[in-house]
Structure 1
Amino acid sequence: MSPTMTAARIHEYGDASVIRYDRIPRPSPGPGEVLVQVAATSFNPSEVGLRAGYLRDLLPVTLPYTLGLDLAGTVVEVGAGVLGPVPTSTTGAGVRGLAVGDRVIGLVEGAAAEYTVAAASSLVRAPERLPPADAAAIPVAGLTAWQAVHEHARVEPGQRVLINGAGGGVGLFAVQLAKLAGATVIATAAPRSAAAVRRYGADEVVDYTTTPLPGGMDVVLNLAAIGPEQAATLATLGEVIVTIATPIDAPRATHFVARNDPAHLARLVALIDKGELVVEVAETYPLTGLDEVHRRAEAGQTRGKIIIQGEIRA
C-alpha cells in the first residue's frame, strides 16, 4: 500500500470552513526534484484571498488545491539528475547539489502538508541559526521585502523611507532591510505591533489610527490593504512609491507581486546567519489549525508571522 500524508486543501472557494485535512498519496520526486518532509509552512494574508476566490483571475489554481507557499523542511528523497554534495571546484550536468538530510527553505506551492515535492533549483539551504520550523517565516515575506527595498525602491543610504503596514510579516523584514541599506525608517503600525517595529530598527513609529502620516519622503513602501482615501494620501508623500497590496495611482508608483528568486533567498539566509537580520515568529499552530488562523486573520486578530507546523505521522 502506498504511503499517505495529510494535506490542508480546498475543493471549492469559500470561507475558512472549506479548508479540509485530507489523507492523500505521498508524492514522489521526478527528475530534478526532491521530496521534502515539511517542518512547517507559514500563513500569508494573500492566502485568504486565494481561498475565498478573490484572486482566481490573478492566481488561478486547479482544485482541489493544497495551501501553503512557504516551505521549511528536510530533504528525504531525491529525483534523477539531482547532484549530491560536490566540491566547489567540481561541475556537473545535474541540478546543484542537494542530498537527503539537507534542511531547506523555498517558495513552493502546496507546502501545507506533511510532505511536498519541489524543484531542487527552487530551494536553498535553511539558516543554521533558526529552528527548522521558524525558517518557514522567510520565503514569501522575505522575498517580498527584499524585492520592494532593493529592486523596486532601490533604497540608498541617507534616504527617508516611510513603511506603511510595518507590523506585518513583510513589514518586519522591510524595516530591517531598509535600515541595513542605510535609510532612516519611519514606520506605521498599530499599538500592538509598535514595540516589535521599534525593536527591529524603525527610527520613528507612527500610530496611523491617531496621527497624520509625515510627508517629504524619498520612498514610500505600502505593505497594507488600504482604501482609496489612504491610497490618495500615500500618493502625495514620497518621490518613489512601491506597493505590494492596493495599487496606488501616482507618478513613479510601482505595484508588484514577489517572484521566486533563490538567489535573493540565499542572500536573506546569509544575513540571518550573520546575525544581521532577525526572524520573529508571533504564533505557532499545528497543520490542522490552519482554518482557525484564516478565521482569526479575517477578524483582524493576527499580527506578524504565524508558523503552521507539519504533523508527521508514523
Structure 2
Amino acid sequence: MNRTAQAVRFDQYGDRDALYVTDVPMPEPEPGEVVVEVRAAAVNPFDAVLRSGVAQHLFPLDFPSGQGSDLAGVVVAVGAEAGGLAVGDEVLGWTPAAGAHATHLAVPADRLVAKPPQASWEVAGALHMVGATAYAAARAVAVQPGETVAVSAAAGGVGSFLVQMLTGRGVRVLGIASPANAEWLDGHGVIPVPYGDSLRERLEQAAGASGIDAFIDLYGPEYLDLAVALGIKPDRIQTTVAMERAAEIGARTDGRHNATAREILVELVDLVASGAVEIPIAATYPLDRVTNAFAELEQRHTRGKIVLVP
C-alpha cells in the first residue's frame, strides 16, 4: 500500500476557497476500524455549514480539518475486532469524524455495511446523509399511509429520497420545487407544486378537501410560516434547516443524528437496492475540483446529489 494518501483540508473557517488537497499519511486502522479506499464521497450542505464556522458553538473543529461524512469504497486494511470485514470488501456508510473527502480513510467498522452490487459507487457514496435525514424527518411527523404531506425542496438531495420513501409507504406527497423538476416528481408519484407567489393557494388546491396533514421543510423558515398558515399543528411540522423559527413555533427539528443506527442504514440500503428509491446523481467531480463541486452545490437548485470521485 502507498504510504501517503490525499485529502481535502482547510486551515480556518471560511468559504469554499479555504479548501485545498494535500498529501497526508496513509491511515492505519485502530481496533474496531478498517481503512477504506474511497471510490465516492457525497458533497453535503452540512459540510459547508461546518466549514463556514456558523455552527462552531455546536460543532467546533480542530485545524487543519478534513470534511465529508458519506463514503463508499473498498476495504484495504483491517484492524482488530472489525466486525467481520475483510480486505477487498465493498462497503458504504459514513464517518463520525469529518474526512470522507479523501482517497483513503480509517472508518469505524460499525458505520459501514456491504455495498449492494445494484448500486453504483456514486449512489453508494451519496446514500447515508440523505437517507438518514429523510428517515428522521418522516418519523418526526409520524407520517401514516393515506395522509397528505407537503415537502419543500422536494427534488433536492434529501427531498428526492424523502418523497420516494413516502410514496412507497402509501403517502400522498405534494412536492414543492421548481417547474423544471415537475416531470421528475410526477414520474415518481409525487404531485408537483411550483414554488413562488400564491404557493399557499396552489397547495390548498392540490390537497383538496382533505387538507394537508404534515409539512416537511428542507429549505428555510418561510416554509414553516406557510405550514402554520395552512393550519398544520406544530408537532407535525418538521424542518432540517430553520432551527430558530422551529423553536419559536414548536416545530420538530430531527435530522441525520436521530437516525444513525446501523439497522436504519441497512433499511435505507435495501430501499435503494430494491429500486424502491433512486438517488439522482447531479454531477461528479474529482478530488482536486472540490471547490467546483461546492460552487455547484451552493446554487441550491441541484436535483439529487453531487459526489466526489477520488
User: How high is the sequence identity, in percent, across the aligned residues?
Assistant: 34
Q: Does 1:236 align with 2:229?
A: yes
Quote how far apart the aligned CAs of 1:297 are.
2.8
Q: Does 1:118 align with 2:107?
A: yes
* Distance 1:17-1:250 versus aligned 2 partners, 3 A rule: closer
Q: Output the amino acid matched with 1:174.
A: L
- State the distance in 1 between where 2:218 and 2:226 align: 15
Q: Output the amino acid matched with 2:242.
A: T
Q: Which residue of 1 aligns with 2:92?
A: 105
Q: Which residue of 2 aligns with 1:309?
A: 309
1:22-50 C-alpha deviation (Å, 9 max, x unpaired): 11101100101000000010111122221
- State the distance in 2 between where 1:77 and 1:139 align: 22
Q: Which residue of 1 aligns with 2:256?
A: 258
The 8 Å contact of residues 106 and 262 in structure 1, kept in 2 or not, is answered as: no
- State the distance in 2 between where 1:211 and 1:271 align: 35
Q: Which residue of 2 aligns with 1:271?
A: 271
- State the distance in 2 between where 1:15 and 1:253 align: 30
- State the distance in 2 between where 1:70 and 1:42 align: 6
Q: Which residue of 2 aligns with 1:91?
A: none
Q: Which residue of 2 aligns with 1:41?
A: 41
Quote how far apart the aligned CAs of 1:195 are.
2.5
- State the distance in 2 between where 1:14 and 1:53 align: 7
Q: Does 1:246 align with 2:234?
A: no
1:125-154 C-alpha deviation (Å, 9 max, x unpaired): 1122112232111010111001111x2122
Q: For residues 74-153 of structure 1, what are the structure 2 equivalents within 5 Å?
A: 74-82=74-82, 95=83, 97-108=84-95, 109-149=98-138, 151-153=139-141
Q: Which residue of 2 aligns with 1:10?
A: 10
Worse overlay, 17-26 or 288-297: 288-297
Runs of 4+ aligned structure 1 residues displaced above 4 Å come to: 249-252
Q: For residues 157-306 of structure 1, what are the structure 2 equivalents within 5 Å?
A: 157-202=145-190, 204-213=191-200, 214-215=203-204, 216-227=211-222, 230-237=223-230, 238-239=232-233, 240-247=236-243, 248-249=246-247, 253-259=251-257, 260-300=260-300, 302-306=302-306
Quote how far apart the aligned CAs of 1:245 are.
0.8
Q: Output the amino acid matched with 1:120.
A: A
- State the distance in 2 between where 1:271 and 1:63 align: 37
- State the distance in 1 between where 2:114 and 2:193 align: 37
Secondary structure of 1:278's match? coil
The 8 Å contact of residues 2 and 25 in structure 1, kept in 2 or not, is answered as: no
1:146-191 C-alpha deviation (Å, 9 max, x unpaired): 1111x21221111001011111100011101111111100010012
User: How many matched pairs?
Assistant: 293
Q: TM-score, normalised by structure 1?
A: 0.88
1:80-116 C-alpha deviation (Å, 9 max, x unpaired): 122xxxxxxxxxxxx3x21111111112131000000
Q: Which residue of 2 aligns with 1:28?
A: 28
Worse overlay, 12-21 or 236-245: 236-245
Gaps of 5+ in 2: 205-210
Superposition RMSD on alpha carbons, in Å? 1.9
Secondary structure of 1:254's match? coil
Quote how far apart the aligned CAs of 1:201 are.
2.3
Quote how far apart the aligned CAs of 1:249 are.
5.0
* Distance 1:156-1:301 versus aligned 2 partners, 3 A rule: closer
Quote how far apart the aligned CAs of 1:302 are.
3.6
- State the distance in 1 between where 2:153 and 2:47 align: 18
- State the distance in 2 between where 1:2 and 1:285 align: 23
Worse overlay, 233-242 or 266-275: 233-242
The 8 Å contact of residues 156 and 301 in structure 2, kept in 1 or not, is answered as: no
- State the distance in 2 between where 1:36 and 1:187 align: 37
